């Protein structure tokens, strides 16, 4: 169905649903006879880690509803690929991606809202639903959660630190070259810096309490924000944080025993496990007397394209099939991330201390803002962090970053 048709339908019939709906039914009666001959096609785009798992799993869905499901792999450029294709009215019916894409996709008008019933929402954590909500509408169905935590070499530092000060002390006592590795790199890294920023009381956008963020209230230079950047400067001077920690050395230094602590995410575990070292994953400690160091929560999920040629089955897939424990468990095992479905998460983390560790680290996690304004935050925030660590005045870095962010938001 071409998009134009869809639109008219939605407008004239005042029934977005019916357009999407078109079609449905019959999964039951025909499922047996339909297995050989597919009556339609559903195209899913996913990245290189999810594609193999999805391919394996769509067979069930194919059998259930008699639609051929094609999973296409897009390495690295999935986010852009979808934008480019969908705005031409092409592209897949479903795209699998991170929740922070939702702001950009929704404001481009390229994804359709999905409605989950109250029961369905209850099976998911509140945060993961919030993560996919843009302007009051849910735009994606979550399946996995991830956040960063503190990975500790238990031979070098036996006890989990309760405060960041303890961490620094333990890092020094370990007698290693570095106290801690955390990817900063020359341009800074707002994602990794956020827990420390939050611990000092900084916020990015004001939350109205209901999960709606106000892009016009930027808190990078709030008193807490300034205190955080001053802390960055202090830690930089002390040699705890360095802009020379980048993607090339953060994990190798930890694996080589050059540091007892590393702040990183589940993706680092492959290397750590490969090194056969003793480690534990715990929460990132907050500063003494300050708030918890809550990391960003990243949620992966399924989006339905607004230009989906088979919107009906795409919606059926994301609303009913994605929320099955089986699929979520499989995806979790492939990606090493916690499932979004609460029951699947419990089953998955039961005997997995790493997952439990990251889950504990993510207890206070806040969904990474998905509003478009967030795109204006990453660079200035990161650079201000790098500047502060390299010796610039913390307060000044914070105010400059905040001004730049405000200008960028006002301009867009």
Partner 1 sequence: MLEQRSRTAGSATAAGLIIKISVLALVAGLAVWAALPLIAAGAWWGLALEAAACGIVFYVYVQRRNIPLKYLIPGTLLLIAFQILPVAMTIGTSFSNYGDGHRVDKDAATEAIIAAGVQQTPGGKTYLVAVGDSAAGDLTLLLTDTADGSTWAGDAEGLTEIDAEIDATGRITAADGYTVWGLEELNERQDELATLAVPTGEESGIKVQGLSAFEGTSTRSYDEGCDCITDTATGLVWTADNENGTFVTEDGEVALVGWRVNIGVDNYTAILTDPDIRGPFLGIFTWNLAFAAGSVLFTFAIGLGTAMALNKPGMRGTRFYRTFMILPYAMPSFAMLLVWAQMFNRDYGLINDLFGLSVNWYGNDWAAKAMVLIANTWLGWPYMFLICLGALQALPSDSLEAAKIDGATGVTAFRKITLPLLLIALTPLLISSFAFNFNNFNAIELLSGGAPFRAGDAVGGTDLLITYAFRQAFGSSTSDYGFASAISVFIFLIVATISAVMFRTTRNQEDVYS
Residues 38-57 interacting with partner 1 (rule: CB under 8 A) = 39-40
Q: Given the complex with partner 1, which of 32 and 351 has the nearer CB atom?
A: 32
Q: Given the complex with partner 1, which of 38 and 267 has the nearer CB atom?
A: 38
Alpha carbon distance 161, 173 (integer Å): 12
Rounded to 5 degrees, what angle do the CA atoms 294, 300, 96 make?
Answer: 160
Run of H or E including 338: strand 338-339
Q: Given the complex with partner 1, which of 162 and 410 has the nearer CB atom?
A: 410
Q: Supply the minimum distance, in Å, between the C-beta of residue 36 and partner 1.
A: 12
383 and 401 Cβ atoms separated by less than 8 Å: yes
Q: Supply the minimum distance, in Å, between the C-beta of residue 150 and partner 1.
A: 22
Q: Given the complex with partner 1, which of 48 and 135 has the nearer CB atom?
A: 135
405 and 220 Cβ atoms separated by less than 8 Å: yes
Q: Supply the minimum distance, in Å, between the C-beta of residue 17 and partner 1.
A: 3
Stretch that binds partner 1, among 62-70, 269-277, 284-292, 329-337 (CB under 8 A): 62-70
Quick one: residue 384, left, alpha or beta (phi over 0 = left, psi -120 to 50 = alpha)?
A: alpha
Give me the phi and psi of 264, to 5 degrees please: -160, -175
Q: Which of 51, 189, 264, 404 touches partner 1 by CB under 8 A?
A: 404
Residue 136's closest CA among 196, 212, 85?
212
Count of residues interacting with partner 1 (CB under 8 A): 92
- Give the chain's radius of gyration (CA, Å): 23
Residues 6+ apart with CB under 8 A from 385: 184, 188, 189, 190, 193, 229, 232, 397
Alpha carbon distance 212, 369 (integer Å): 9
Residue 86's closest CA among 298, 300, 314?
314
Q: Which of 58, 65, 226, 365 touches partner 1 by CB under 8 A?
A: 65
**Residues 125-144 close enough to bind partner 1 by CB under 8 A:** 134-137
Stretch that binds partner 1, among 11-19, 43-51, 272-280, 341-349 (CB under 8 A): 11-19
**Residues 231-290 close enough to bind partner 1 by CB under 8 A:** 242-244, 246, 248-249
Alpha carbon distance 277, 219 (integer Å): 40
Q: Supply the minimum distance, in Å, between the C-beta of residue 14 and partner 1.
A: 4
Stretch that binds partner 1, among 37-45, 148-156, 205-213, 271-279 (CB under 8 A): 37-45
Residues 6+ apart with CB under 8 A from 273: none
**Residues 280-319 close enough to bind partner 1 by CB under 8 A:** 306, 310-319
Alpha carbon distance 192, 241 (integer Å): 11
Q: Supply the minimum distance, in Å, between the C-beta of residue 81 and partner 1.
A: 12
Cross-strand partners of 142: 301
Q: Supply the minimum distance, in Å, between the C-beta of residue 282 and partner 1.
A: 27
**Residues 316-355 close enough to bind partner 1 by CB under 8 A:** 316-320
Q: Given the complex with partner 1, which of 290 and 316 has the nearer CB atom?
A: 316
Q: Supply the minimum distance, in Å, between the C-beta of residue 100 and partner 1.
A: 11
Give the DSSP letter of residue 373: G
**Residues 367-396 close enough to bind partner 1 by CB under 8 A:** 372, 375-376, 378-380, 383-384, 387, 390, 392
Q: Given the complex with partner 1, which of 150 and 318 has the nearer CB atom?
A: 318
Alpha carbon distance 291, 289 (integer Å): 7
* Alpha-helical regions (H) of 38-162: 50-65, 78-87, 102-107, 118-122, 126-131
Q: Supply the minimum distance, in Å, between the C-beta of residue 368 and partner 1.
A: 13
Q: Which of 67, 235, 323, 355 touches partner 1 by CB under 8 A?
A: 67
Q: Given the complex with partner 1, which of 107 and 163 has the nearer CB atom?
A: 107
**Residues 74-113 close enough to bind partner 1 by CB under 8 A:** 80, 83, 87, 104, 106-110, 112-113
Q: Given the complex with partner 1, which of 165 and 187 has the nearer CB atom?
A: 187
**Residues 163-222 close enough to bind partner 1 by CB under 8 A:** 186-187
167 and 278 Cβ atoms separated by less than 8 Å: no
């Amino acid at each position: 169905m071409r998009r134009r048709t869809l639109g008219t339908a939605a407008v004239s019939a005042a029934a977005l649903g019916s357009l999407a709906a078109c079609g449905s039914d019959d999964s039951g009666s025909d499922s047996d006879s339909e297995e050989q001959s597919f009556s339609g096609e559903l195209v899913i785009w996913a990245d290189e880690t999810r594609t193999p798992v999805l391919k394996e799993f769509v067979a069930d869905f194919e059998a259930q509803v008699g639609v051929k499901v094609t999973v296409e792999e897009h390495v690295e450029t999935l986010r852009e690929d979808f934008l480019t294709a969908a705005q031409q009215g092409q592209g897949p019916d479903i795209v699998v991606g991170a929740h922070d894409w939702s702001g950009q996709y929704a404001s481009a008008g390229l994804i359709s809202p999905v409605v989950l019933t109250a029961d369905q929402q209850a099976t998911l954590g509140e945060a993961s639903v919030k993560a996919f909500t843009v302007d009051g509408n849910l735009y994606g169905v979550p399946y996995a959660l991830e956040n960063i935590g503190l990975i500790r070499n238990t031979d070098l530092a036996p006890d989990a630190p309760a405060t960041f000060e303890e961490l620094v002390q333990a890092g020094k006592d370990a007698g290693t070259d570095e106290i801690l590795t955390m990817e900063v790199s020359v341009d800074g890294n707002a994602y990794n810096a956020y827990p420390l920023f939050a611990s000092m009381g900084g916020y990015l956008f004001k939350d109205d309490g209901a999960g709606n963020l106000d892009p016009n209230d930027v808190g990078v230079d709030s008193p807490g924000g300034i205190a955080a950047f001053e802390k960055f400067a202090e830690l930089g001077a002390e040699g705890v944080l360095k802009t020379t920690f980048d993607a090339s050395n953060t994990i190798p230094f930890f694996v080589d025993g050059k540091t007892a602590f590393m702040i990183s995410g589940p993706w680092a575990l492959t290397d750590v496990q490969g090194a056969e070292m003793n480690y534990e994953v715990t929460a990132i400690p907050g500063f003494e007397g300050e708030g918890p160091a809550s990391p960003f929560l990243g949620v992966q999920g399924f989006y339905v394209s607004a230009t989906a040629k088979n919107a009906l089955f795409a919606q059926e897939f994301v609303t009913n099939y994605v929320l099955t424990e089986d699929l979520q468990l499989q995806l979790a095992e492939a990606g090493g991330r916690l499932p979004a479905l609460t029951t699947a998460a419990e089953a998955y983390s039961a005997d997995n201390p790493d997952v439990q560790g990251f889950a504990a680290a993510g207890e206070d996690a806040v969904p990474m803002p998905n509003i478009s304004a967030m795109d204006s935050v990453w660079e200035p925030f990161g650079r201000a962090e790098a500047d502060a660590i390299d010796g610039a005045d913390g307060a000044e870095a914070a105010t400059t970053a905040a001004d730049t962010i405000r200008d960028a938001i006002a301009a867009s």
